[in-house]
């Protein structure tokens, strides 16, 4: 047997161990009150301002950027207005994507990230090969000159940023950190050497 407490009147009772997890109330009267409390109106619809009930677990679980809605039609109506103009991910006048990369409109390719367009022109390609990405040497995503760009494996891209960080890579590109120092700070010197050689060779190509 174990002591439990009623969720309504706080009355204590002794019940079998197998009932402790499901125990809620001590009587039918308390159960009625408890059920009503589970359906109290705790949310206001962002669209029509109607009060409605939403489970506490749902309120905590979901990150609702546009708010809470009492029905699907309210969500649809509000979404139409919410995504008008600059809030629309396909907005034609959008100059930067969600990661801060510059977007331009070009006659041949349409809307495309500027550093991708520069790389495509320099290498004579029309898309990034699978598993690759475009790396900014000095980690300044607004510096989209051919000399500052290189195409490397996504795994190498993640590794070099995690290994050194933006500040160290910027310092290396501006001759404030030597090649030998950068290699010595790495936990995998051989991989670091090969990656730096690849970046250096591409400087003459892009």
Which tens digit of pLDDT belongs to each residue from 158-168? 999 999 999 99
pLDDT < 50 positions in the chain: none
Q: Is 135 exposed, middle or buried (0-12, 13-18, 19+ CB in 10 A)?
A: buried
**How high is the pLDDT of residue 43?**
87
- DSSP-derived letter for residue 173 is H
**How high is the pLDDT of residue 8?**
84
Per-residue pLDDT tens digits for 164-191 = 999 999 999 999 999 999 999 999 999 9
Domain range list for the chain: 1-38, 129-203
pTM, to two decimals: 0.56
Q: Rounded to a whole number, what is the largest CA-CA distance in the chain?
A: 82
**CA 81 remoteness from chain centre:** 23
């Amino acid at each position: 047997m174990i002591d439990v407490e009623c969720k309504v009147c706080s009355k204590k009772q002794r019940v079998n161990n197998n009932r402790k997890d499901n125990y809620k109330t001590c009587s039918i009267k308390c159960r009625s009150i408890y059920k009503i409390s589970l359906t109290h109106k705790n949310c206001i619809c962002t669209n029509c301002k109607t009060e409605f009930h939403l489970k506490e677990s749902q309120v905590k679980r979901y990150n609702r950027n546009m708010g809470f809605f009492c029905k699907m039609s309210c969500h649809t109506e509000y979404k139409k207005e919410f995504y008008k103009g600059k809030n629309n991910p396909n907005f034609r006048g959008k100059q930067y994507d969600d990661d801060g990369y510059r977007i331009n409109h070009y006659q041949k390719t349409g809307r495309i990230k500027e550093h991708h367009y520069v790389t495509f022109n320099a290498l004579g390609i029309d898309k990034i090969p699978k598993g690759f990405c475009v790396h900014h040497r000095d980690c300044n995503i607004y510096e989209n000159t051919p000399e500052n760009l290189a195409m490397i494996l996504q795994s190498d891209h993640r590794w070099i940023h995690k290994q050194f960080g933006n500040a160290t890579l910027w310092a290396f590109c501006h001759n404030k950190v030597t090649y030998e120092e950068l290699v010595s700070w790495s936990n995998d010197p051989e991989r670091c050497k090969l990656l730096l050689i690849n970046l250096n060779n591409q400087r003459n190509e892009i």
